[in-house]
Amino acid sequence: MNPDEPTTPRDEPLEPRTIEGEVLYKETFRIVGNDFEHGGEAAARVKAILKQLGFPTDAIRRLSIANFEAEMNVIMYADEAEMEFAVLPDAVRVTFADRGPGIPDIEWAMQEGNSTATPEMRARGFGAGLGLPNIKRNSDEFSISSAVKVGTTIRYVVYANSGSGGAR
Amino acid sequence: MRTVVGLLDCEVACGQEALETPVGACFAADLMSDVLAFSSSDALLITGLTSVQSVHTAHVADCVGILFVSGKHPSPEALQLARDVSIPLLTTTHSMFEACGILSRNGLVGSARS
């Protein structure tokens, strides 16, 4: 893709790089929309697994923050989602594929402070328009695609070596 | 963290055994999005949000503990999760503003992500 060409945010990943590698471990979680009671459990489970695997602390923190943000996004905005978490030799890759309203303007949604959150979501401590940008900031690779009235898929990778730059 | 308990007359809701953990800095917010976006690790989270999401937030952000202000107490779900993931929970009757002021006067610094 020519970087000078205007992109179609709905279809084009923001960072079209993809990490390749053998998958050493994989687990899938189902996240249910509006299930605030269990919001955060998948992120906690992944954090525990990565601790057991001896993943570096800083990388675990960045991935856990991204996972929790993505999980809460599903709970607040989507009907349901499948979260796939894959451990690669030097990185972790996470994919959230949700069924929901989709995002009409990804470029707008990726800007800090832009949000369609309800007062109830804000009362729960979320919905400040920081979620998607924060997922990207904490990732080394990040892509998002969305179709209105169908759903949104986000995919991100955190490298074990956190000094490797990336999507931030 | 034991010093914080003394300065703010805290009750320890759970995590008594972890009170010797040093507090690197403090981050005060009711908006968990802010904590996730701007706090550094090893911070004490100061908040009035008592739901289970405050504990999840502290857990993923590697906070050393949570201080609930204004006499608020953690929900039963928050308390259970904090026990499960070993995050100490403190409560104080001081308001957010007072608690931050007292901690700041006594040398604690704000947490800011680099």
DSSP per residue, A45-59:
HHHHHHHHHT--HHH
* pLDDT, position A162: 66
* pLDDT, position A22: 86
Percentage of chain B with pLDDT > 70? 98
**Rounded to an integer, what distance in angstroms lies between the CA atom of residue A10 and that of residue A4?**
17
CB B50 within 8 A of CB B72: yes
Q: Which of B108, B85, B107 is nearest to B18 (CA)?
A: B85
Whether B68 is covered by a domain: the verdict is yes
Whether A8 is covered by a domain: the verdict is no
* pLDDT, position A166: 43
Whether B114 is covered by a domain: the verdict is no
* pLDDT, position A163: 55
* pLDDT, position A128: 87
Q: Is the pLDDT of residue B38 over 60?
A: yes
Q: What is the mean pLDDT of each run of 10 residues along chain A (168 residues)?
A: 40 49 91 94 96 95 97 96 95 97 95 90 88 95 96 96 54
Whether B110 is covered by a domain: the verdict is no
Count of CB atoms situated within 10 Å of the CB of B113: 13
Whether B112 is covered by a domain: the verdict is no
Whether A107 is covered by a domain: the verdict is yes
Domain that holds residue A50: 25-159
Mutate: best of B31, B36, B45, B63, partner A, most A CBs <10 A: B36
> How many structural domains compose chain A?
1
**Rounded to an integer, what distance in angstroms lies between the CA atom of residue A146 and that of residue A152?**
4
Whether B12 is covered by a domain: the verdict is yes
Whether A139 is covered by a domain: the verdict is yes
**Rounded to an integer, what distance in angstroms lies between the CA atom of residue B61 and that of residue A53?**
19
> How many structural domains compose chain B?
1
pLDDT per position as a tens digit, B62-83: 999 999 999 999 999 999 999 9
Whether B113 is covered by a domain: the verdict is no
What is the CATH number for A46?
Answer: 3.30.565.10
Whether B98 is covered by a domain: the verdict is yes
Q: What ipTM is given for this predicted complex?
A: 0.90
Q: Is the pLDDT of residue B114 over 80?
A: no
A-contacting residues in B 44-73 (Cβ below 8 Å) = 49, 51-54, 56-57, 59-62
Domain that holds residue B31: 2-105
Chain A residues contacting B, CB < 8 Å? 36-37, 39-41, 43-44, 47, 57-58, 61, 64-65, 67-69, 72, 122, 124-131, 133-134, 137
Whether A144 is covered by a domain: the verdict is yes
Instruction: Please give the model's pTM, rounded to 2 decimal places.
Output: 0.88
| H/E segment holding residue A96 | strand A91-99
